Copies of this chain bind each other. A is one copy, B any other.
Amino acid sequence: MAQMDTKTAEKISKALSDPTRLKILSEIKKKHDWLYCVDLYDNINLAQPSICHHLKQLTETSIILPEKEGRNIKYTMNNEVIDDFIGFLQGLKK
């Protein structure tokens, strides 16, 4: 497993520190690991650019991965990054 540096852990923590972004992740899980952007508009009461902004923070940290499909984008969880982040957290303990 990759050793995650502090700066990356900080960015991942920041990406996870918002209710909308955690909601997006739980929606992805609920839909069995992937969804289209448009799936979120029904469940999240924010304007489209706001959701887009949150998705950007999740993709920039690679917590989720975007995959272009025509004019849609399919987002999937990136379990590797979560595992690396967990490794970092384990390292904080004695």
Contacts and interface: CB of A to CB of B under 8 A. Distances in A.
A4 B9 CA distance: 20
A57 to B, nearest CB: 11
Contact of A79 (B10, B26, B94): B94
Q: How many copies does the complex hold?
A: 2
Contacts of A14: 13-14, 17
Contact of A17 (B13, B89, B92): B13
Given A85-B89, A94-B32, A13 B10 contact: no
A29 B82 contact: no
B77 A94 contact: yes
B10 A26 contact: no
A18 B86 CA distance: 17
